[in-house]
Amino acid sequence: MPFENENTYIKMVENGQEDLFHKEFEESLLKVARFFDKEYPNLVDGEVIEEEKLVHLSPLDGKTPLGKFQMSTKETSQRAVKIARGSYREWYSIGYLARASIFLRAADMLSQEKFEFSALLSYENGKNRYEAMGDVDEAIDFMRYYALNLIENQGFVRFTGTAYYGEDSKSVMKPYGVFLVVAPFNFFSITVGMVSGPLLVGNSVILKPSSDIPLSSFRFVELMHKAGVPKANLIYLSGSGGRVGRTLYTDDGVDGIVFTGSRDVGTKIYRESQEKRPKVAITEMGGKDTIIVTQKCDIDKAVEGVARSAFGYNGQKCSACSLALIDEKIYEAFKKRLVDFTSKLSVGDPRRRETFTGPVINREAYEKFQRIMGTVPKEKILLGGRTIPRDGYYVENTILDNVGDPAIERVELFLPILALKPTKSLKEAVEFVNSMEYGLTGGIFSEDRKEIEYYFENVDVGVIYANRRRGGSTGAMVGSQPFVGWKMSGTSGKGTGSFYYLQQFLREQAQTIVRQ
C-alpha cells in the first residue's frame, strides 16, 4: 500500500474547502501571538535558565520579538550529553513497536495543530501560508513514514541462519547512543526529520535548533515529550552554532552528528568531530541546483517550473534553482518569457493570502544580497536586483543574464537570485552540471524522451526531475522522492524520506547462540 502524504492544502482544495483553509490559517495567525515575547528555557530533563539570552526577532519587520531564548553554557551542554548517554538504553529497551507508536501519536498531535505551527513559521522564517503548511505537512510525513518503515523492518532484526551445526545466528541493528542534531532555519520539517531518524531507532537526541526558528523547534520538542518521548532522551539546547554546537560535536560522549547547512560549516563539523574518535557524521551541505532547458521543451512549462523553483521561499531552499542552462536557440525567447512571468510574483508580507515571496531570513541575508548585487554589472540585471524600502528584510526576485562569474554561477547563494546561461547542446549542459562541486537537485525541461533519458543516465546529481511545472528542482515528497546529495552536497549517499534512512543511525551486532 503506498504511503499517503498529508498534503493539507491540495486535499482541502480538492474537497471544496479552500476558503476554510484560508479561514483557519488566518485565525491561527492571531492565536499564535500568545507564544510571542516570552522567555523559553533549555530543556535538559527539566527546565534550565542561562545567564546570557538570545532575542529572536521576526524577519517580517526586523523588530517584533518572538521570544527570548537561552545561550547554552559549556557546563549545560556537557551535562546534557551525560543525561542523554545515561538514558538511551532504557529508551531503546521499550522496543521498536512502542517507539513507533509514540511517533505515530506525535504525528497525529502535530496534524491537529498544523495550522498553528504553520502560522508560527510565517512569523519565524517568513514563509507564505502555502509554503508554511507544506513544511509542517512534510514534518508529519517524516514522522509517520519513518515509524512505519521501522515497523515494516521489524526493528531491523534478521535471522541469518546456521554457519555451524548447533548454532543459531541473527543480525541486530542497535543504536549508537547519542546524536547531536544541528538544524537549519529554512525547513521546520528538516528539523523534525533529523530528530526523528536517530530518536525513533533508540538513540537519545540533543537538538541545537536554528537561532532563526527556535520557537517552532521548542514547541515541537514539547509536543514530543507530551506524546511519550522521555525528557532525558530528547534535549533542547538553544544558542550559537559556533559555541554550543562545537562543544557538543567534539564531546566524546556524542556518537553522531546530523547537520544541514552550509558547505563550510558542514565540512568543519565533519573534520573536527572525528578528532578524538570516529563518529557518524551525516551532513547535507546545500547545492548549486541547475535546471537544463532544451530546444525541445514546452516553454510555458519550463518558464513556470524554473521561476517557481528559483523564487519559492526566496531561493532559501537547498534545492532552489539558482542557475538555468538554456539552449542558445531559444535563449532570447525564454528569458523574455521568464522575466514576464517572474515580474507577476508578488513580494510582501507572507501573512497575506496573495503573497508569493516574503522576506529573506535575517539582516545577514539581506546584506549579503546587497553585496552580491554590488558586484553585478547593471546591464546584466534582467529583473530585480534591489532591496525593497520597508520594515523587514525584503528584496526583489532577481534574474541575471549570462554574467559568466563563477561566484554567481558556481557558488550557493541561498537568495532569490537566478543566473541564466546559454548552452550549445544538452551534452555541454550536463558536462557543466557535472563539473560543479555540488550535486543535490536538478531538472530538465524537454519533450524528447531520449533527451530525458540522456540527462537521467549521465548527470551526477542526487535528486532529479523532468518537466516538473510545480518546481523544476524543488518539492521532494517523503516516501516517493528521497532527498539525497552527491559530491559536496552530502556525506552519506542516503536520502531523507527514504527506506534507507533509518539504518544510518544504527550499528550492526551479530549474535550467535549455541544450542544445548
Catalytic residues: 284, 318
User: Is residue 417 within 8 Å of 322, Cβ to Cβ?
Assistant: yes
Cell of 272: 573536527
If one counts every other C-beta atom within 10 angstroms of the C-beta of residue 363, the result is: 13
Phi/psi for 113 (5° steps) reads -110, 15
Q: How far is the CA of 346 from the CAs of 108, 168, 233, 339, 341, in angstroms?
A: 34, 65, 44, 13, 11
DSSP state of 46: S
Angle at 357 between CA 190 and CA 376, to 5 degrees: 100
Pairing of strands 256-260, 178-182: parallel
Own/partner pairs, 329-333, CB within 8 angstroms, 24+ separation: 329/295, 330/293, 330/295, 330/297, 330/299, 331/420, 331/422, 333/299
Give every strand in the sheet of 53-57, ordered side by side. Answer: 39-40, 65-70, 53-57
User: Is residue 168 within 8 Å of 68, Cβ to Cβ?
Assistant: no
Contacts of 271 by beta carbon, 8 Å cutoff, 6+ apart? none
* Amino acid (1-letter code) at residue 496: T
- What is the C-alpha to C-alpha distance for residues 110 and 129, in angstroms, rounded to an integer? 17
Angle at 57 between CA 54 and CA 60, to 5 degrees: 165
Cell of 45: 530533563
DSSP state of 482: -
Give the three-state DSSP class for 2. coil
